[in-house]
Amino acid sequence: MSTHKKIPIEQKKFKSFDETIIGYQIIGQGKKPIVLCNGLGGFASAWTPLLEYFADRYRFVTWDYRGLAHSDPPADPSKMRMEDHVNDLEVLLKKEGIEKTLFGGWSMGVQVALEYYRKNPASFEALFLLNGTSGYPFDTALNNPLSKYVLPTINDLGQKIMPAVQPSLRPLAKKLIDWEGFATLASKLGLIHENIQKQEIFQQVAQEMIETDLSMYHQIMSHLSRHDATDMLTTIRVPVLIIAGNQDRITPVKVAEKMASLCPQAELMIVPGGTHYSILEFPEIINLRIEQFLSEHYPV
Residue 246 has pLDDT above 50, yes or no: yes
The Cα–Cα gap between 209 and 203 comes to 10
CA distance 95 to 222: 29
Alpha-carbon distances of 129 from 63, 109, 132, 133, 149, rounded to whole Å: 17, 8, 7, 9, 27
Q: Any residues with CB less than 8 A from the CB of 105 and at least 6 apart, and which?
A: 36, 37, 111, 112, 113, 114, 127, 128, 129, 130, 132
Which pLDDT does position 155 carry in this prediction? 66
Name which of 153, 158, 174 is nearest 216 in CA terms: 158
**Mean predicted lDDT score pLDDT of the chain:** 90
Least confident of 43-57, 146-160, 178-192: 146-160
Amino acid letter at 193? H
Q: What's the pTM?
A: 0.91
Topology (CATH level 3) of domain 9-297:
Rossmann fold (3.40.50)
Domain residue limits, the chain: 9-297
- Name the pLDDT band for 3 (thresholds 50, 70, 90): very low
